[in-house]
Structure 1
Amino acid sequence: MSGGWAGKTIAITGAAGGIGQGLCRFFGAQGATLAALDRSAAVLELASALQREGITVRAAVADITDPAEVAAAFASFGAVHVLINNAGLSRHPTLHGTDPHGWEEDISANLNGAYNCAHAVLPQMVERRGGTIVNVGSVNGLHALGDPAYSAAKAGMIAMTKAMAMEYGRYNIRTNIVLPGTVRTPLWDARKAKDPDVLRTLERWYPLGRIVEPDEVARVIAFLASDAASAITGAAIPVDCGLTAGNIVMARELTLENF
């Protein structure tokens, strides 16, 4: 198997999830060696499946909120040229329904977890004088769209990304963040079971009239991680089918009703 990523090891957190699996298959198909990390043992099954497809994978089960587990996982991976901080979760959709423990849970699983992984990999990147980190944030980090603890964590990830870009640029380490909108992953299956039209309802808020596909997120991440983006660091790039361009529903009602 050959490709632009041959000879490179790409660490992907949350590898067993919908976007994570898409990232693994995308970069694996390009010849990368994968370092797949997830808190679920499903990552081991994923690694076995990818290996049967001819993709080289090292897998580790670790909770990214635990710095010791993260350090042990990255020690087992060896050299990592690209870190994709993809892992995250949201379990508290409203502020009213979020207690201090819930707030801490979402902040830790998103912001603190991404920091722990970056902290584990940055020393070797500094020593090598090169590396790339791509954080997976959310449009929730830009606007109030519900899930307040998750959103606060994703906003924090934007600030963290810029801080890393500022401090580590001198070592030829680039750090960027992508901000996906609604992505078509298995996480929506439970919602669709309750409301089969939920995604159709959401699509009307997107100027492109659809939601994001996982491989569309992967392609932007691949660009940011590649030499084609060698002058880009500290950037926060929406991958959202136009959601953050403006309020298309309001615009249609006010000015675009005949367009």
Structure 2
Amino acid sequence: MTDLKRFDGHGVLVTGAARGIGAAVARRLAEEGGRVLVTDRDLLQAERTAAALREQRLAATAFACDVADRGSVEAAVARALALFGSLDVLVNCAAHCTPDVPLFEESSDDAWERDLDVTLTGAYRCCRAALPHLSASGRGAVVLIGSVNGLQDYGNHGYSAAKAGLGSLTRTLAGHAGPRGVRVNLVAPGTVRTSAWEGRDADLDAVRPLYPLGRVGEPEDIAAAVAFLASRDAAWITGTVLPVDGGITAVNRAFRTALRGGAGSA
């Protein structure tokens, strides 16, 4: 539990907040005084997440939201306004990732379109619906959850293309929204221990040595970065992509290892 209270009186909407990074973000912003609308397609789990926050005397309400549906997104924004009177922070965590098939040419249009529709277009829908209200608040901030997949090759063609698109959306929307008093930034996580890795401890052990900081991430690592970018501590930061990745995109650990501990050079 943090002692910071950077979001006292703020109305906050988090998508994909039922579990994982989204749930950690909802918790962190609520701990800092935000009134949080915990939205997700999985309403039952969203309600569990919100209930757990309320047990700690934090302000959280669950609401069903499918970011692939414009009407659902607009209903979520309307619900946040009705509950809080303003919308000050939007965090786009919802995403969809289809595992790659062995051969690229065997991939389907449906899988590609689903990854882009939820991950990229879903964030676009949320930003479009929220922007007028974020502007009206006088302290509006958007934080998108990207991925190192949008910066380098880690597989997952559709998901990675969508995450790369979020980086571009961050820059173009920052340019448009800045004069309207709204900042837009993106956090790009590396490997984070979430339910997506459940039962895959061996895989996490395999990638851990690739991280210069010696571990994979936890959802709370990402939530802390989101809280910074959404707060007034980042008042002069917009349009940025912040890797929160244990150094994996900055340091080629595998290359160093191949050269017997990094004694050589490229």
User: Which TM-score band applies after superposition, normalised by the shorter structure?
Assistant: over 0.9
In 2, Cα distance between equivalents of 1:186 and 1:112: 23
Count of residue pairs brought into register by the alignment: 255
What is the aligned counterpart of 1:150 among 159, 162, 185?
Answer: 159
CA positional deviation for 1:3: 2.1
In 1, Cα distance between equivalents of 2:38 and 2:57: 15
Q: 1:144 to 1:165 in 2, by over 3 A?
A: same
* Structure 2 residue 147 is matched with structure 1 residue 138: yes
What is the aligned counterpart of 2:10 among 8, 11, 14?
Answer: 8
Q: What do you get for the CA RMSD once the two structures are aligned?
A: 1.7
- Trace 1:63-74 onto structure 2 (pairs within 5 A): 63-74=66-77
In 2, Cα distance between equivalents of 1:58 and 1:2: 21
3-state SS of the aligned residue for 2:210? Answer: coil
Is this contact kept in 2: 1:39–1:63, CA < 8 A? yes
In 2, Cα distance between equivalents of 1:108 and 1:138: 16
Q: Which runs of 5+ in 1 are unaligned?
A: none
Q: TM-score, normalised by structure 2?
A: 0.91
Counterpart code for 1:76: R
Q: TM-score, normalised by structure 1?
A: 0.93
- Trace 1:1-259 onto structure 2 (pairs within 5 A): 3-41=5-43, 42-78=45-81, 79-94=86-101, 95-190=104-199, 192=200, 196-254=201-259, 256-257=261-262
CA positional deviation for 1:17: 1.9
In 2, Cα distance between equivalents of 1:209 and 1:45: 32
| Worse overlay, 163-172 or 25-34 | 25-34
Q: Deviations over 1:110-162 (max 9, x none)?
A: 00010111111001123334300000000000112100100000000000000
CA positional deviation for 1:5: 1.4
Counterpart code for 2:37: A
Counterpart code for 1:67: R
Counterpart code for 2:134: M
Is this contact kept in 2: 1:92–1:102, CA < 8 A? no
In 2, Cα distance between equivalents of 1:201 and 1:172: 44
In 1, Cα distance between equivalents of 2:181 and 2:95: 27
Counterpart code for 1:21: A
In 2, Cα distance between equivalents of 1:154 and 1:114: 10
Counterpart code for 2:92: N
In 2, Cα distance between equivalents of 1:214 and 1:76: 26
In 2, Cα distance between equivalents of 1:256 and 1:18: 35
In 1, Cα distance between equivalents of 2:88 and 2:149: 28
Counterpart code for 2:36: L
In 2, Cα distance between equivalents of 1:27 and 1:168: 22
Is this contact kept in 1: 2:147–2:163, CA < 8 A? yes
Counterpart code for 1:170: P
In 2, Cα distance between equivalents of 1:46 and 1:216: 18
Is this contact kept in 2: 1:58–1:77, CA < 8 A? no
Counterpart code for 1:29: E
Counterpart code for 2:99: H
Q: Which runs of 5+ in 2 are unaligned?
A: none
Q: 1:49 to 1:120 in 2, by over 3 A?
A: same
CA positional deviation for 1:4: 2.2
Identical-residue share of aligned pairs (%)? 36
| Worse overlay, 121-130 or 225-234 | 121-130
Is this contact kept in 1: 2:89–2:140, CA < 8 A? yes
